[in-house]
Structure 1
Amino acid sequence: MKKNKMNYLMGILLLLSLIFGLSVENQVSAANNSSVVIDGKLQEYPHSPVIKNGATFIPFREAFELLGAKVTWNGKDKTLTAKKGNTYIWAQLGNGNIVTERSNGHRIGKNYSARPQTINGVTMVPVKVFEQLGATVSWNAQNKTIEIKSATSTFKGFIGLGTSAEEQKSDEVYKQIEELSTVWANALKTRDGKPRYKMMSEKAKEKFKQEQINRSGENWNYIIGDSSPWVVDFDIAINGMTANITYVTQTSEYAYYNTKETLTFIRENGKLIVDDYQINFENQAVDSKVINN
């Protein structure tokens, strides 16, 4: 009787393992059967995208070489670099911080919980990396398709597509705001407010002057920011005529903080200028592990 009961339990366990095993197998199969489409063009990689722990990964080398980028591997520090034109993408195995950088000095570092890793012998990165290049990434469940669409001319230029006259005009404004915002952010790194002052409207200049008087008295000298914490990096997000700058600051004790600032631009006499600037939050503590990983 005991033997029959034991055989019955073992049979149940075997059945459950088969059911769950098939379920997992089907999930992996569904992930491997998905495809990547960039602006309507199917991207055919030798190795399929993989879904792991809820994140979608694509093969780094295959994805960027297909777009015409030159990809190099550094075995010493386990890093992959893709370069096309004036744009670089840098990823390191096990490091969630993926960096994109352009020759104008604009640098974006984004930390992903899904870190670059080797899957089935291939170095894979989260597909969301395309967002750093100026694209939107979405999932079409019906077609099992990862859809990547250009959001800026920067990305269109990267993938080799042209833009319409209207898009060019819009993207020229975007580029100008991006360049001005980069100058604005770098001014805080050097603690020199003069570059900022030059791009301000009269209203913004009056605000700046009052801040300087409150800080240094009537003999103010354009010094901005603090000696500690100081700016080590920044990220710029642009929405229309508004730019949000998130600064990463650091102290000598290797404590890290975030400060977020919003710039509002207007066009005056055919020129883009900063009409207002506001600090949204200042010196919010950041886990150093997020910075250093």
Structure 2
Amino acid sequence: MKLKTSPIAGILLVIALVTGMTAVIRASADSSPDGNKMFGTTPFIYTAETADDAVQNEQTYKLALQWAEAWKTRDGKLRLEIMSSSMQKEFRQQQKAATGDANNTVIRWSSPWVVSYIAESDAEEALITYRYTDSTGSQYLGTERLSFGEENGRTVVNSSKTEIEMKPYSEE
């Protein structure tokens, strides 16, 4: 995914990083993977105090997007790729308990389904907000918090915690 940015935003980021200010990056809703316009112009937010932080934050943001897309598509393989080894072990145990097959990578139920999501991240954690719908047209919001760490020289998801399972939601 290539984020759309304006030249002014790029200049402001460089100035912020050079002067040591904390930078907050916001991309337009048009740059989310699915054109998410659910929350105006904030599908992508991360903060950085140094250029190294900005690189790390971009990496954790991409992991958060992969995590969310896996939830949307019910593809646990995408999540397994970015989990720590302890999370992978726990995932396989949960799959065995739920389906009888530790190698089953289908996740989530089929309804309600994820319509869109947004992610906010920094170097240590991310908050993903999911919007769901069902066949009746009802809408729901749920949130999940991820934490990140290093394992074998790469950034991985160390933990995930559902903060809001599913709460009725209305755009009105």
Q: Check whether TM > 0.5.
A: yes
Aligned partner of residue 245 in structure 1, secondary structure: strand
Give the structure 2 partner of residue 237 of structure 1: 120
The answer on whether the counterparts of 1:107 and 1:235 sit within 8 Å (CA) in structure 2 is no
The answer on whether the counterparts of 1:234 and 1:246 sit within 8 Å (CA) in structure 2 is yes
Give the structure 2 partner of residue 256 of structure 1: 139
What TM-score comes out, normalization by structure 2 length? 0.75
Give the structure 1 partner of residue 22 of structure 2: none
The Cα offsets for residues 87-140 of structure 1, whole Å up to 9 and x where unpaired, read as 974xxxxxxxxx3415xx37663547xxxxxxxxxxxxxxxx5x66759xxxxx
Q: Following superposition of structure 1 onto structure 2, how do residues 273-292 of structure 1 map, counting pairs within 5 Å? A: 273-287=156-170, 290=171
Does 1:224 find its partner at 2:112?
no
- Mark the CA change 1:246 to 1:132 in structure 2 (over 3 Å): closer, same or farther: closer
Q: Following superposition of structure 1 onto structure 2, how do residues 127-146 of structure 1 map, counting pairs within 5 Å? A: 134=45
Query: Which amino acid in structure 1 is aligned with residue 82 of structure 2?
Result: M
Give the structure 2 partner of residue 109 of structure 1: 37
Aligned partner of residue 31 in structure 2, secondary structure: strand
The answer on whether the counterparts of 2:27 and 2:43 sit within 8 Å (CA) in structure 1 is no
Aligned partner of residue 50 in structure 2, secondary structure: helix
Q: Following superposition of structure 1 onto structure 2, how do residues 97-246 of structure 1 map, counting pairs within 5 Å? A: 99-101=29-31, 105=33, 109=37, 111=39, 134=45, 151-152=47-48, 167-218=50-101, 220-246=103-129
- Mark the CA change 1:205 to 1:134 in structure 2 (over 3 Å): closer, same or farther: closer
Structure 2 gap segments, 5+ residues each = 1-5, 10-25
Query: Which amino acid in structure 2 is aligned with residue 204 of structure 1?
Result: M
- Mark the CA change 1:108 to 1:251 in structure 2 (over 3 Å): closer, same or farther: closer
The answer on whether the counterparts of 1:212 and 1:222 sit within 8 Å (CA) in structure 2 is yes
Higher strand residue share: 1
Structure 1 gap segments, 5+ residues each = 1-64, 69-86, 90-98, 113-128, 136-150, 153-165
Q: Please state how far the C-alpha of 1:220 moved relative to its aligned partner.
A: 4.4
- Mark the CA change 1:206 to 1:171 in structure 2 (over 3 Å): closer, same or farther: same
- Mark the CA change 1:200 to 1:260 in structure 2 (over 3 Å): closer, same or farther: same
How many residues are matched? 152
Identity among equivalent positions (%) equals 27
Aligned partner of residue 109 in structure 1, secondary structure: coil
- Mark the CA change 1:170 to 1:106 in structure 2 (over 3 Å): closer, same or farther: farther
What TM-score comes out, normalization by structure 1 length? 0.46
Query: Which amino acid in structure 2 is aligned with residue 181 of structure 1?
Result: A
